[in-house]
């Protein structure tokens, strides 16, 4: 990571600490910035009267805010870096520290990919005057996750990860000059900024958007975006300037793996139902609904609450499989690390015959 080109905006935090005369502040930084955490602690302590304690546990999102336990230590303010506020209450005053990256890649390499994807979207446009048989409709409107989903538009949805969101407006203009009708989607309450996506939330999607461009790096958000929307996705990496796309083969491989796990729980009689203790991952009601559902099918569900979820923390329980209601990406991205099948609530409903795989895959979203 090129740290010189990142802007860690600590000034507002220092002002807030001084204004409120805070004496003990907890700093929470994402995994990729842990190496720089001590420097940041020095900067805050040198510029204010506060002492800083690093919340050194792993942190992958704003769902994972330091909560009440730090109050027992006397912490007055949590400074959370690199993510934005969610629709959750952690019980602690929290200051979000924005991090931005000044990368500015050319759009030229991604334009041919976008043009190809736009043509795919045009083929999925519904035409009411046409009478199609079910099979023809299936062939024409099928999306990447097996849903028959006609579109009402072919707009380009422009999204990004949080450190690149300040670029979106300028890229919208560049892409419009290149001939695309661009929308920066506005999502639900879990998202703070237009064009923002999380690994568990792509709620800005709508049927007028026919395809996407993601400004960011890595495949974490891209996999979730295609699993959720079923739409073609082009990628532009501000760190390297490289363009690419999320391959449908990759999504098909993931779907085959999910299908395999659903088959694997066919004869399972007892399930551990994981509840995330992190403030933005806790889905107690969903977990209890899964327990009841298992009971109506004559199966047993045990509710297991955890802060972190990992194979060494659950594999030893004498159950046949696990259903995950904590971070949705644990089941999707990490299933191979577990000895026993680890499935999402939707996948359990399919396994029990309550929902149909044939109607398309349903991504486990936290609203």
Closer residue to ligand SF4 in complex, CB, 172/329: 329
Of 155-214, binders to ligand SF4 (CB under 6 A) are 198-200
Nearest approach in angstroms of CB 199 to ligand SF4 is 3
Closer residue to ligand SF4 in complex, CB, 180/363: 363
Say which residues have a Cβ less than 8 Å from residue 139's Cβ, sequence separation at least 6: none
Closer residue to ligand SF4 in complex, CB, 61/232: 61
Nearest approach in angstroms of CB 276 to ligand SF4 is 7
Closer residue to ligand SF4 in complex, CB, 211/228: 228
Q: Site mask, ligand SF4, residues 306-325, x = CB under 6 A?
A: --------------------
Rule CB under 6 A: say whether 77 interacts with ligand SF4: no
Contact 135, 119 (CB under 8 A): no
Closer residue to ligand SF4 in complex, CB, 60/193: 60
Of 338-367, binders to ligand SF4 (CB under 6 A) are 366
H-helix or E-strand containing 342?
strand 342-343
Nearest approach in angstroms of CB 4 to ligand SF4 is 27
Closer residue to ligand SF4 in complex, CB, 268/366: 366
The one among 329, 335, 349, 350 contacting ligand SF4 by CB under 6 A = 329
Closer residue to ligand SF4 in complex, CB, 262/327: 327
d(CA 353, CA 66): 39
CA 8 to chain centre: 22
Structure tokens given for 225: 């975006």
Say which residues have a Cβ less than 8 Å from residue 318's Cβ, sequence separation at least 6: 270
Nearest approach in angstroms of CB 29 to ligand SF4 is 14
d(CA 196, CA 30): 17
258-293: string of b/e by CB count within 10 Å (b at 16+)? beebbeebeebeebbbbbbebbbbbbeebbeebbeb
Nearest approach in angstroms of CB 323 to ligand SF4 is 16
Closer residue to ligand SF4 in complex, CB, 75/197: 197
Contact 25, 17 (CB under 8 A): yes
Nearest approach in angstroms of CB 212 to ligand SF4 is 18
d(CA 283, CA 323): 12
Closer residue to ligand SF4 in complex, CB, 94/281: 281
Nearest approach in angstroms of CB 246 to ligand SF4 is 17
Of 275-304, binders to ligand SF4 (CB under 6 A) are 280-281
Catalogue the E-assigned strands of 4-147: 6-8, 24-28, 51-54, 77-81, 94-97, 99-101
The one among 14, 319, 323, 327 contacting ligand SF4 by CB under 6 A = 327
Q: From residue 231, give the alpha-carbon distance in Å to each of 141, 218, 269.
A: 11, 18, 36
C-beta contacts of 169-175 below 8 A and 24+ residues apart: 171/107, 171/213, 171/215, 174/107, 175/107, 175/114, 175/213
Closer residue to ligand SF4 in complex, CB, 227/236: 227
Nearest approach in angstroms of CB 85 to ligand SF4 is 12
Reference 146, options 365, 308, 356; nearest CA is 356
d(CA 29, CA 45): 16
Nearest approach in angstroms of CB 159 to ligand SF4 is 15
Q: From residue 110, give the alpha-carbon distance in Å to each of 14, 44, 117, 245.
A: 40, 41, 11, 9
Of 12-71, binders to ligand SF4 (CB under 6 A) are 60-61, 63
Residues interacting with ligand SF4, by CB under 6 A? Answer: 60-61, 63, 198-200, 280-281, 327, 329, 366
């Amino acid at each position: 990571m090129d740290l010189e080109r990142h802007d860690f905006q600590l000034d507002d935090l220092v002002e807030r600490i001084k204004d409120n005369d805070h004496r003990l502040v907890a700093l929470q930084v994402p995994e990729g910035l842990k190496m720089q955490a001590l420097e940041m602690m020095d900067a805050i302590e040198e510029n204010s009267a506060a002492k800083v304690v690093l919340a050194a546990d792993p942190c992958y999102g704003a769902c994972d805010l330091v909560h009440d336990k730090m109050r027992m230590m006397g912490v007055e303010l949590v400074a959370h870096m690199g993510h934005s506020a969610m629709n959750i209450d952690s019980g602690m005053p929290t200051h979000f520290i924005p991090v931005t990256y000044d990368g500015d890649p050319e759009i030229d390499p991604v334009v041919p990919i976008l043009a190809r994807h736009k043509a795919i979207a045009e083929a999925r446009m519904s035409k009411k005057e046409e009478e199609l048989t079910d099979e023809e409709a299936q062939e024409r409107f099928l999306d990447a996750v097996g849903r028959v989903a006609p579109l009402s538009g072919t707009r380009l949805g422009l999204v990004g990860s949080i450190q690149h969101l300040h670029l979106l407006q300028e890229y919208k203009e560049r892409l419009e000059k290149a001939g695309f009708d661009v929308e920066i989607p506005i999502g639900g309450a879990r998202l703070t900024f237009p064009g923002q996506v999380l690994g568990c939330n792509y709620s800005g999607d709508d049927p007028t958007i026919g395809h996407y461009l993601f400004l960011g790096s890595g495949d974490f958000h891209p996999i979730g975006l295609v699993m959720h929307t079923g739409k073609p996705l082009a990628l532009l990496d501000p760190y390297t300037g490289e363009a690419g796309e999320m391959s449908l083969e990759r999504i098909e491989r993931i779907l085959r793996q999910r299908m395999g796990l659903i088959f694997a729980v066919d004869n399972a009689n007892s399930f551990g139902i994981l509840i995330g203790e992190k403030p933005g991952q806790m889905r107690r009601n969903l977990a209890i609904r899964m327990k009841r559902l298992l009971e109506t099918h004559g199966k047993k569900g045990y509710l297991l609450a955890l802060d972190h979820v990992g194979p060494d923390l659950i594999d030893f329980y004498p159950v046949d499989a696990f259903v995950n209601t904590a971070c949705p990406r644990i089941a999707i991205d990490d299933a191979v690390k577990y000895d026993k099948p680890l499935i999402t609530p939707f996948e359990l409903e399919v396994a029990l015959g309550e929902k149909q795989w044939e109607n398309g895959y349903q991504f486990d979203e936290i609203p």
